[in-house]
Structure 1
Amino acid sequence: MSKIKTLKDKKSPIRVASHQPEQIRETRKKLFEIQKKYQAKNIDTKLKGDKLVFTGSGSVYKEKIGTPTAEEVISGDSVNIPVCSGNQVEDNGNRFSSHAITVDSYRKVRESVIEILRLPNVVSASHNVLAYRFTSKDGTIHEGSDDDGEYGAGRALLSTFDEHGIQNALVVVSRWYGSKIGPRRFRHIKEAGISALKKLPGSG
């Protein structure tokens, strides 16, 4: 691995790369997209393993919503934010359901995730995949996703925002595992997700 730069400098046809766990590969893919956005603003960053480091300060990029703790979820017993429920999808013992909320800030995203996880049965799902996008007051577009163990599912769910022109929204797709269904799970996650997103006011 230490000779990779030498091989590149000599324009060798040989390429060497380390094999990384799937979770790290998916994290790096997501961070690479974030890195491109910083690059467009002339902010230098560097990918180191599964972390994005700001070159100037040495600080590490962190998701601004974070994963809600169990205590945060169970500390309230009612949902105070209007939530749109999507269609339920079933496949070979697997069940997918979705919930969407309008958001306009990281604070609203985090509060909304907690509220959705308080809904009956949602917290008991095998996976709760989420994606969000909103535009801040200065016109900057903020977006993110979380796989919750369904590697690649968060990015797939976020892609529905582009495909259907969705803005200022959060969606959580819950999966109750029945058996392996392969790549079909991504199609079901996107299908369930967009069915909830399209019910939000102003989504068309």
Structure 2
Amino acid sequence: MRQIENVVRDRGSKYAVSGGPVQGRAGCAAFIADLRRVKKYAKATHNSWACILSDGGPVKDDDGETGAGAVILRMLERAELKDTIVVVTRWYGGVHLGGDRFAHVVTCVRAFLDQTEV
């Protein structure tokens, strides 16, 4: 599991990105469960994620951050990255970010992809 913390800070919200190889939907569920075993990730407001599975196609979950999973999925499709889950974590800072939150998701996924051989 690769974790990159403090990727973006904006109006009190903090963002991090995590990811790693998975096999199937069960692998995605296990990855999220492992991530949430870390106390600060369990307390995060959102753990939005996406993955393109070789044997099952695209899967995603916004975890309450509407549209975030789709943004992550589009970036994985462009990178042609399969069987790797990418999770963008947000700790809400009390101020709504509007559309800026999507730019922050993109920044997080880029940071992960830049450190991953694609």
Alignment equivalent of 2:37, drawn from 101, 112, 118: 118
The TM-score, its normalising length taken from structure 2, stands at 0.87
Does residue 188 (structure 1) correspond to residue 104 (structure 2)? The answer is yes
Aligned match of 2:16: 97
Q: Which amino acid aligns with 1:163?
A: R
Q: How far did residue 163 of structure 1 move?
A: 2.4
Answer 1 or 2: higher relative contact order, Cα 8 Å, separation at least 6: 2
Residue pairs, 1:40-119, within 5 angstroms:
83-86=1-4, 88-119=7-38
Residue pairs, 1:110-149, within 5 angstroms:
110-136=29-55, 141-149=56-64
In 1: Cα distance, 2:104 partner to 2:59 partner: 20
Q: Structure 2: which 5+ residue stretches go unaligned? A: none
- Total equivalences in the alignment: 116
Query: What secondary structure does 2:64 align onto?
Result: coil
| Structure label with greater radius of gyration | 1
Q: Percent identity?
A: 26
Aligned match of 2:70: 155
The TM-score, its normalising length taken from structure 1, stands at 0.53
Bigger share in strand: 2
Change (3 A) 1:100 1:197: farther
Change (3 A) 1:85 1:164: same
Q: Which amino acid aligns with 1:117?
A: R
